[in-house]
Amino acid sequence: MKDPGFKKILDDTVAQCIAAIEKDGADTLLLGCEPLQAFAEEVRQKVNEAGYDEIPIICELSAGVAMARAMVDMGVVQVARAYPSAGLKAIPECW
């Protein structure tokens, strides 16, 4: 946190987040760049300090893990038609 390079990256990220909220009307922030996800807590703190604590911040890694867990809990499995074989009852025309 004491590194000036880190502080600049954090400040620039927070500035972009605030601009997205104020200028573009963003109601959710997505941190999709993997290296930025390491700064998620610091970004959250700075966004809260700016008065936007009601805006959720979502990181793609944790969202992906949550989605994978939800799919497992729902019993979602690979569909045979996604990778057709001769064992399909109704063979697609494109196959």
**Has residue 60 been placed in a domain?**
yes
- The tally of domains found in the chain comes to 1
- Give the separation between CA 91 and CA 56, rounded to whole angstroms: 45
Q: Is residue 17 part of a domain?
A: yes
* Residue found under tokens 């604590």: 53
Confidence of residue 95 (pLDDT cuts 50, 70, 90): low
List, in sequence order, every residue forming a beta bridge with 29; answer none if it has no partner: 57
pLDDT band of 38, cuts 50, 70, 90: confident
Would the pTM of this model clear 0.85, i.e. be above it?
no
Q: Which residue range is the domain that position 13 belongs to?
A: 4-76
Band (1; pLDDT cuts 50, 70, 90): low
> pLDDT value at position 91?
72
Among the listed ranges 13-17, 32-36, 47-51, 89-93, which one has the minimum average pLDDT value?
A: 89-93
Does some domain include residue 50? yes
Length of the chain measured in residues: 95
Residue 88 located in a structural domain: no
Query: What's the rounded Cα separation, in Å, for the pair 8 and 11?
Result: 5
Tell me the C-alpha distance between 78 and 95, whole Å. Answer: 18
> Can you state the angle between helices 40-49 and 4-24, rounded to 10 degrees?
50
